[in-house]
Amino acid sequence: MKLVVLNHKMNLNYEDIQKYITDLENYRDKIVVLPSAIYAKEFIEHGFITGLQNIYCREKGMYTGEISPVQAQSLGAKYVLVGHSERRRLFAEDDILINEKIKMALKNHLKVILCVGDEIGDPPEVLASQITKALKGITEEVIIAYEPVYAIGTGKVPKIEDIKKQVEYIKNLVNHKVLYGGSVSTNNIKSLEQLDNIDGYLIGTSSLSSAEVIKILEVVE
Ligand code: PGA
């Protein structure tokens, strides 16, 4: 069974979440939900495997607005996403910060999903650099989410053979599970399922609709 991770980003309000939880209650063991952090407790209390979309690299202190891995762990969160391309681009997260976040999350027993991504025409070294810098000094298992930047939220999915090549490249570099992310939807999940070297999916836009999630889960093996 592949890992299906649902990244809500900054979407859905409290009423939407109630319905979403009811709709997906029977699918709880097939998904990892990354809701807005303020809804994490709601999902955890309903037995969903839950994570956060971001975490800070300190355990406590004067960091207004941030959430620490100690807090996340004490709430019952299991996963954390680190280095999403939106955080790199909009919030200027660099490889050093990402590396610190991963170390602190692992220290506090959270499973880390590290997002990496390239643009069309980038040499493979772009991915290698992101991965080696983010994982510097880390020996524990970290899940890698390969998300080509141009595929995120655009509906443009790379050719299956191109994804396969990049995933192979990542797996030769580090011996970790690799998820594919970027415009995964009911339109392309059947062809993505032809990939024999990915371990799951990171889904944004399509994860906002419970009906869409159920349709995707029906296809994913
Ligand atoms: P998308 O987002 O499915 O909307 O492309 C994926 C992600 O950014 O994690």
Hey, which residues are catalytic here?
A: 84, 147
What is the C-alpha to C-alpha distance for residues 84 and 145, in angstroms, rounded to an integer?
A: 9
What is the C-alpha to C-alpha distance for residues 211 and 217, in angstroms, rounded to an integer?
A: 10
Measured from the CA of 184, which atom of ligand 1 is nearest? Answer: 3
What is the C-alpha to C-alpha distance for residues 95 and 155, in angstroms, rounded to an integer?
A: 27
- The predicted structure's pLDDT at residue 24: 98
Asked if 86 contacts 9 with a C-beta cutoff of 8 angstroms, the reply is: yes
- The predicted structure's pLDDT at residue 52: 98
Residue with the smallest CA separation from ligand 1 atom 7 is: 204
CB atoms within 10 A of CB 106: 18
- The predicted structure's pLDDT at residue 50: 98
Asked if 97 contacts 134 with a C-beta cutoff of 8 angstroms, the reply is: no
- The predicted structure's pLDDT at residue 209: 98
- The predicted structure's pLDDT at residue 163: 97
For ligand 1, mutation pick of 157, 189, 203, 213 (most atoms within 8 Å of CB): 203
Residue numbers of the chain with a pLDDT score lower than 50: none
What is the C-alpha to C-alpha distance for residues 184 and 207, in angstroms, rounded to an integer?
A: 9
What is the C-alpha to C-alpha distance for residues 113 and 11, in angstroms, rounded to an integer?
A: 20
Per-residue burial over 155-170, b = 16 or more CB atoms within 10 Å of its CB, e = otherwise: eebbeeeebbebbeeb
Q: Which residues contact 127 (CB under 8 A, 6 or more apart)?
A: 116, 117, 118, 146, 166, 169, 170, 173
Report pLDDT digits (tens) over 201-210: 999 999 999 9
Residue with the smallest CA separation from ligand 1 atom 6 is: 204
Q: Which residues contact 84 (CB under 8 A, 6 or more apart)?
A: 7, 53, 54, 115, 147
In angstroms, what is the span from residue 119 Cα to ligand 1's centroid? 15
Query: 56 vs 61, 99, 100, 140, 168, CA distance in Å?
Result: 11, 11, 9, 19, 30
C-alpha Rg value of the chain to the nearest Å: 16
Report pLDDT digits (tens) over 185-202: 999 999 999 999 999 999
**Per-state percent for the chain, helix, strand, coil, to nearest 5:** 45, 15, 40
In angstroms, what is the span from residue 88 Cα to ligand 1's centroid? 14
- The predicted structure's pLDDT at residue 171: 97
For ligand 1, mutation pick of 88, 202, 207, 212 (most atoms within 8 Å of CB): 202
In angstroms, what is the span from residue 180 Cα to ligand 1's centroid? 10
Asked if 145 contacts 115 with a C-beta cutoff of 8 angstroms, the reply is: yes
- The predicted structure's pLDDT at residue 6: 98
- The predicted structure's pLDDT at residue 33: 98
- The predicted structure's pLDDT at residue 28: 97
- The predicted structure's pLDDT at residue 216: 98
| Predicted structure pTM score | 0.97
In angstroms, what is the span from residue 8 Cα to ligand 1's centroid? 9
Residue with the smallest CA separation from ligand 1 atom 3 is: 204
Measuring from each residue's beta carbon to the nearest atom of ligand 1, which residues come in under 6 Å? Answer: 7, 147, 152-153, 181-184, 202-206
Measured from the CA of 151, which atom of ligand 1 is nearest? Answer: 5
